[in-house]
Every structure is written in C-alpha cells, then in structure tokens.
Amino acid sequence: MEWLLNTIHYVVPFIVLLGVLVFVHEFGHFIVARKLGVNVSAFSIGFGKELWSVTDKQGTVWKISAIPLGGYCQFLGDADESSSTSEVDLSKYSEEEQKHLFATQKPIKKLAIAIAGPFFNYLFAFVVFFGLFFFIGSYDIPPVVSGVIEGSPAEKAGILEKDVILEVNGVEIKEWTDISREISVSSDNVNLLIKRNDEKISVTVPLEDMDYAFDEQEKPIKRRMIGIKGEAKRFRDAKSDFNFTLSVKKAALEVYNVTDMTLRGLGQIIRGERSSEDVGGIIRIAEMSGDISRSRGIWDFISFMALLSINLGLINLFPIPLLDGGHVVIYLLEIVSRRELNAKIKDCLLKVGVGFILFLMVFATWNDIKHLIERWFE
C-alpha cells in the first residue's frame, strides 16, 4: 500500500509537472512555426513508443509517447525528433512543400522559432504568477526574525528574536523572501545588517548544513542555512489588495528574481564558490514535486511549476549546441554573415552538444542518487 501512496505522491505529480512544462515549451516552437508558414509533422509529449495520437487538419500528428521525460516538435523535413537536420534531400518534396520546410527558411525565421520555446516558458511563468497574485493574492512577510534555532550559527552570532534584517550581503531587504533568496546564493558566509531597537548592527554568520522540513509531515533534508525563522511563505486562500497593475509588476519581479538567483548560483558553481552537488536533475525534480504535493497546497505546486518553467526556459537559452540557445547562436551568425554555416561544422557542434548534455545528465543523476541516499538512509 505504501508503494501505491508513493506513486501517487511522487510519480503522478512529476508526470503532470513535466508534461505541462514540455507542452508549453514545444507549443511555443509549434505556434510560431505555424504562423511563419513552417509545417509541423509531429508534436509529442514524451519519447519512445506512441501510446495515443490524432492528426489535425494541417497534417500534424499530436501524440503522447511512453517515456514522459520530455517531448518534441518535429518539423517537415527533419530526419529525427531533435530537429537537428543539417541537410535535407529536397528531391523528396514538391515545390510547394519545399516552401514549408524548416530547412529552407531564412535564418531570421529559424531564430524566431528557436526563441519561441524558452519565451513561452517565461510567458507561462509570468501568467501563473500574475494569476496567483491577482485572483488568489499574496502577502509579503516582513523581514523580522520570529525565532532563532537553538545551536545554529545565527544564535552563536548573537541574532535575536525581533531583529529586523535590513541587508544581506549588501543587498537591501524589503521582505522575508529577499532574505531566503540572498542566503540561497551565498557561498560560505552571510553578511547581515540588522536593526535592533534604534541601533544598526553588522554581523557575519557562517552557513551550516541543517535539517529542514516545511512541516512535520515532510522528511527533513539537509539545507545550508543560518538558522533564523520567519513566517512561512504561502498564498492566501482569500484575495488580498492586488490590483491589475500591482499584480503585473509583482509577477514580472518574481520572474526576474528567479532568473537572477539561478544565474548567480550557476556562476558560483563555475567559479568554485559553491558545491557542484547542488546541480540536480530529473530525480531531484520528482522528489521536490512529490514533497510539495504531499504536504503543501495546490497553489504551492503551481508556483513551483512556474519556477521550473523559468529554469527550463533559461537553460534552453544557454549557447550549447543541441539546445535552443545553441541554435540561436548559429542563426545569428548566419544572419550577420549572410550565408549558411557549413553542414559539417553544424554536425560537429551537434555532436559536442550531445556529449555535453549527456555528461550533465549523468552528473546530475549521480548527485540526485547521492542526495536520496543521504536523505532516506542516513
């Protein structure tokens, strides 16, 4: 019975989460390609064996496949699902069909189609955050310490209850989520400027791995913290005073903050200031989505989905061959040089990209497995 509950709490939310994000991303490619006159031969959620399919009036096969770990939008003329075809045998297609092949389009059109996937991920996140703020509402938690964990670095540094956090690492703090964000991208120490009564005090607090759980139903995980508490961030069940303009601004700010936090964290890993063990993959996403579905509300799950959508869009914009960002670089080069990049160079770049992506997947999966072992068996 326990395995069934784990399946419901971890596998089902993960499949729903990934399915929605993949659909959003690939639909971006699809809709822009259609608008620009490129025929789409297949749109799939998942890879591998086809489980269900239907063909629309334009000849696109919409399908769900057996392996729910991604998806693809395959254009007319592509030799495979990756849409990475360098050369197309035009003799296989009529003169009219050739006009609608992806391979025969101008670089500017290819660029628009490539960018559309990540753009739709960002648009989706913005719409989700806007909807949550406008229709559900939210409240901003003041940056006031409501408790200090016994034996924590914060307690040892002399931080007290009711201290007001003014700055973290030189960044002005307006609400509690600003504190969480800045601490999450800190490496070893956190520099705080706090207000106690009418006095301002500067203090340096080391980060320490501590047990963290959202509530008593969650199994604690190790998380680098300083050991201060604030009221848990949750969306209200009733609408608060969010009007349209304020909701738009707050949604845009949320999208910006997530992007900024991700890039800063990645930069720290590259510079060696942060452990590469923080790099997670599919297993980590499944774990987090399961934890949220078990012990939090639907709004937290939807918010998490928006956060992952931003990360998916951002990662796909990295200039790595095989990802959308790699294609963007190639199309920009072709626009500037006014000639198509050599097919052999494209194929070589593609192989490098495939190798790099496979390495990252293996590395992230290894980190995920170690994380699970530490969480469940230590």
Please identify every residue annotated as catalytic: 26
* Number of Cβ atoms within 10 Å of the Cβ of 136: 17
Three-class SS string for the chain? CHHHHHHHHHHHHHHHHHHHHHHHHHHHHHHHHHHCCCCEEEEEEEEEEEEEEEECCCCCEEEEEEEEEEEEEEECCCCCCCCCCCCCCHHHCCHHHHCCCCCCCCHHHHHHHHHHHHHHHHHHHHHHHHHHHHHHCCCCCCCECCEECCCCHHHHCCCCCCCEEEEECCEECCCHHHHHHHHHCCCCEEEEEEEECCEEEEEEEECEEEEECCCCCCCCEEEEECCEECCCCCCCCCCCCCCHHHHHHHHHHHHHHHHHHHHHHHHHHHCCCCCHHHCCCHHHHHHHHHHHHHHCCHHHHHHHHHHHHHHHHHHHCCCCCCCHHHHHHHHHHHHHHCCCCCHHHHHHHHHHHHHHHHHHHHHHHHHHHHHHHHHHHC
Contact, 81 vs 45, CB < 8 A?
A: no
Question: What is the distance between the alpha carbons of residues 157 and 41, in angstroms, rounded to a whole number?
Answer: 62
Report in angstroms the alpha-carbon separations of 49 from 65, 225, 297, 378.
5, 45, 34, 38
